[in-house]
């Protein structure tokens, strides 16, 4: 039901957020960073709330804090994301977003597999762990966060392992997803390739 949906999944710092934003801007689609939902739940749990309650009570304002980008919140997000009740509480919001009439791009871990299995275009964006850690390190230190490359690499590897091995909605490519490896591909070239795929599917 609803509009044109682009589902973009992949591991942490693969470039999927940058690609998603560029595609949404190019086509005039709405964009939802679904990782932010899990980060916001993780942040509330670090503040002492129960995960399921945090997920059920999530509001727009909760998604706007800069603190959601910290590695501590990312780890907690990945822990709460393994809980079926948390995922269930966030499903309807994501599906309604995907059904917007004007088109939508959603990125995350389970968009093509669980949230929007009917998406018209599915991408699975990857890159080597080293390249992903370097990108995330540049991003976090650029925001003034005190992190080391080693910490960022360890964070990315720990989250990927937890996200890929969990029982509920694990990180994996949908059978019909197109893979884009950005290890040696410039983001602009990845975007250009994705634009062609979307044009062909419209
Ligand atoms: O994408 P981002 O790194 O911000 O996501 C933070 C965490 O949220 C991930 O490590 C993952 O555990 C979880 N997540 C998820 N499903 C999504 C998006 C994010 O489980 N669709």
Cα 107 to ligand 1 centroid, rounded to whole Å: 9
Position in ligand 1 atom list of the atom nearest CA 160: 10
Ligand 1: residue whose CA is nearest its atom 14: 35
Does the global pTM surpass 0.90? yes
Longest dimension (CA), the chain: 47
Q: Is ligand 1 within 6 A of the CB of residue 15?
A: no
155: nearest Cα among 74, 95, 96: 74
For the stretch 27-73, pLDDT in tens is 999 999 999 999 999 999 999 999 999 999 999 999 999 899 999 99
For the stretch 100-145, pLDDT in tens is 999 999 999 999 999 999 999 999 999 999 999 999 999 999 999 9
- List Cβ neighbours of 86 (8 Å cut-off, separation of 6 or more): 38, 41, 51, 52, 54, 55, 80
15 close to 139: Cβ distance less than 8 angstroms: no
Cα 182 to ligand 1 centroid, rounded to whole Å: 19
């Amino acid at each position: 039901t609803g509009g044109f949906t682009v589902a973009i999944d992949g591991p942490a710092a693969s470039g999927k957020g940058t690609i998603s934003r560029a595609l949404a801007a190019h086509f005039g689609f709405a964009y939802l960073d679904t990782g932010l939902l899990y980060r916001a739940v993780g942040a509330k749990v670090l503040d002492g709330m129960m995960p399921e309650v945090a997920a059920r009570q999530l509001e727009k304002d909760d998604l706007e804090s800069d603190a959601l980008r910290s590695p501590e919140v990312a780890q907690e997000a990945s822990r709460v994301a393994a809980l079926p009740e948390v995922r269930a509480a966030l499903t309807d919001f994501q599906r309604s977003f995907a059904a917007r009439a004007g088109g939508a791009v959603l990125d995350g871990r389970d968009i093509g597999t669980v949230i929007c299995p009917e998406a018209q275009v599915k991408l699975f964006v990857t890159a080597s762990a080293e390249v992903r850690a370097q990108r995330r390190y540049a991003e976090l230190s650029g925001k003034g966060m005190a992190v080391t490359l080693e910490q960022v690499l360890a964070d990315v590897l720990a989250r990927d392992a937890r996200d890929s091995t969990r029982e509920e909605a694990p990180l994996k490519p949908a059978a019909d997803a197109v893979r884009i490896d950005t290890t040696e591909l410039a983001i602009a070239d990845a975007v250009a390739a994705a634009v062609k795929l979307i044009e062909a599917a419209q």
